[in-house]
Amino acid sequence: MGAIGKDALGGLEADVGVAIVNGGGALEASYMVKPANPTWTGRLPLSEWDQIGTITHVPTIYFYRPAQDWLTPRHTIINTLRDSLSRVLVHFYPLAGRLCWIGRGRLELDCNSMGVRLIEAESKAKLDDLGDFAPSPEFEYLVPSADYRTPIHDIPLLLVQLTRFHCGGISLGLMISHAVVDGQSALHFIIEWANLARGQMLCTVPFLDRRALRAGEPPAAPTRFDHLEFDQPPLLIGQSSTAEEQKKETTVAMLKLNKYQVEKLKKMANEGRATDTGRPYSRYESVAGHIWRCACKARGHKSQQPTGLGVCVDSRNRIKPPLPPGYFGNATFDLIATDKAGELVSNPLGYASSRIREAIEKATDDFVWSEINFLKNQEDLSPFQDIHALTSAEGPFYGNPNLGVTSWLSLPIYGLDFGWGKEIYMGPGAHDSDGGSLILPDREEDGSLMIALCLQMVHMDAFKKFFYEDII
């Protein structure tokens, strides 16, 4: 296949390569999509939350099955995606830029309109070959990858892959830099992109000024809290590092909780709880507590084993004044609930939920600004960044004996329509970090939940047994 060269659509450049995709498919074309119109250029300071935790790319994937009356010609799909992507980047131009290291483990965002990567691929497989769409090694061929061995200023902040299947279905795999956006901001961008693709107007203009979270400002007075959430998470008793645990093979499962099982867990969590002690434990607190207890059992923890559970909290409406609507950046941060495995397992579910509630309730206005100031006072942010754990045992690791339980329950993750109907499945892409889990609403929106969970392979069967044994 020859080079495509300059595309007729404004703001687009193309280059072509060949790769095997899912058992014999070919990469047809790879485009660098730039904003359709000139945008502001310059260095944009990042907030402290942009620069810690996950600063690598986060994968998600959407699958679409064509209806018999699908009116969108297959060859126009890539043109629709490219054109609308170029136009939406005018509003979300930070995504077309590049990250730059500025020393002391800190980053800035160079808004230089270098563009985002859009890949067009063909697969010989059928959608039905993917079964229930549970995250699997097959997804590696459907979601583009970022090579972190290259300088960070050469890596696009957004990579998108359109894959056409033999049956006529398509998938849209996205990799978006977590150093630029959190889940809510990422979905804001994706939804607006789909709106433009369907010929609609932008619904909410993104708020791009990260000074709302004191980005680029110097540290203030000493912090008011200890911020133990930045301490290294517990290690397995008898180990001095996470190196051995990081070597162990992992596997992923998608576990469903029907509406009855969700309600049963909430009832179990709130059993015996006095009515005057505030609102009942939520779905998240109940289900996350259940996951935590089951992981302790499945991993065979000793009674005195310390264990931590990472909770992701959104600050948008927790600070005063709240962040402006459409704030585009990272406004979420992690808090850690900790206890001993024996306490979690021997007490009723409500005990684990109470430990999670205590962690979440720390997230007051004062705490949020104190944490930001704590990070501003750090000599180097490198120890708090996941990118360093990719090539060494350094950086945060929340696998055995710990785990993270992230909620997508309040995010608008379903119903993404670019003009050819809504997806038949949406979920995380490759999800291979021990202890990582997501709670998602079921696509049927009938009160059921889906749990995407990664554990070491030797523990997964036991986890499934404990997960369902009391709620069937």
Burial 54-81 (b: 16+ CB within 10 A, else e): bbbbbbbbbbbbbeeeeeeeeeebbebb
Task: Please give the distance of CA 417 from its chain centroid, rounded to a whole number.
Answer: 20
Active site residue 57: no
235/307 Cα distance (integer angstroms): 8
76 contacts: CB under 8 Å, gap ≥ 6? none
Whether 227 sits among the annotated catalytic residues: the reply is no
CA distance 271 to 297: 21
Catalytic option among 178, 290, 301, 431: 178
Closest Cα partner for 197 from 301, 101, 118? 118
Which tokens belong to 315?
A: 């600050």
Q: From the candidates 110, 129, 314, 417, which is the catalytic residue?
A: 417
How far is residue 320's CA from residue 368's CA, in Å, rounded to a whole number? 10
Give yes or no for a contact between 269 and 285, defined as CB atoms under 8 angstroms apart. yes
Provide the H-helix boundaries in 137-282: 183-197, 243-247, 259-270
Closest CA to 215 of 250, 180, 239, 191: 180
Q: Which two tokens stand for residue 436?
A: 């990582």
Tell me which residues are annotated as active site: 178, 417
